[in-house]
């Protein structure tokens, strides 16, 4: 079954509004989560690394004031697209690493089902 969930699955909004996307790890704690963006027929591009209890780390070219990330708990990270515009329309995917062995936190990355954002 799914170990990482995202909500909502699909959102359509008007230009200028803000949209919040949630990423939850189910049955495990994730101190780190990753947010990716995927445009049609393109690969995944890492936007930012979400860290529980501290500020997110953004990749070059990603506006931190536009894409607000809050890692509120060990099982929840949120991405808020502020003042969304049509060019922000994309497929947003989060992932979280799950330790299979103590101290080995990098073996398995679980991806959420994605959130399709359409900005009119």
Question: Does 34 contact another protein by CB under 8 A?
Answer: yes
Q: Label residue 21 exposed, middle or buried (CB < 10 Å: 0-12, 13-18, 19+).
A: buried
- Residues numbered 47 to 86 that lie near another protein (CB under 8 A) are 49, 57
Nearer to another protein, 46 or 68 (CB): 46
CA 117 to chain centre: 12
Site stretch for another protein (CB under 8 A), options 18-26, 63-71, 77-85, 102-110: 102-110
Question: What residues pair up with 21 in beta bridges, in sequence order?
Answer: 79
The Cα 33–Cα 61 span in angstroms is 19
Question: Does 114 contact another protein by CB under 8 A?
Answer: yes
Q: Which residues bind another protein (CB under 8 A)?
A: 32, 34, 41-46, 49, 57, 93, 95, 106-114, 116
């Amino acid at each position: 079954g799914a170990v990482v969930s995202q909500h909502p699955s699909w959102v359509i909004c008007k230009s200028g509004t803000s949209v919040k996307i949630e990423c939850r790890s189910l049955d495990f704690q994730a101190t780190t989560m990753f947010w990716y963006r995927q445009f049609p027929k393109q690969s995944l591009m890492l936007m930012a690394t979400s860290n529980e209890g501290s500020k997110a780390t953004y990749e070059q070219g990603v506006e931190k004031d536009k894409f607000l990330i809050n890692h509120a708990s060990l099982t929840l990270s949120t991405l808020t697209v502020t003042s969304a515009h049509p060019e922000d329309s994309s497929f947003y995917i989060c992932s979280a690493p799950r330790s299979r062995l103590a101290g080995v936190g990098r073996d398995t990355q679980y991806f959420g089902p994605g959130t399709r954002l359409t900005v009119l």
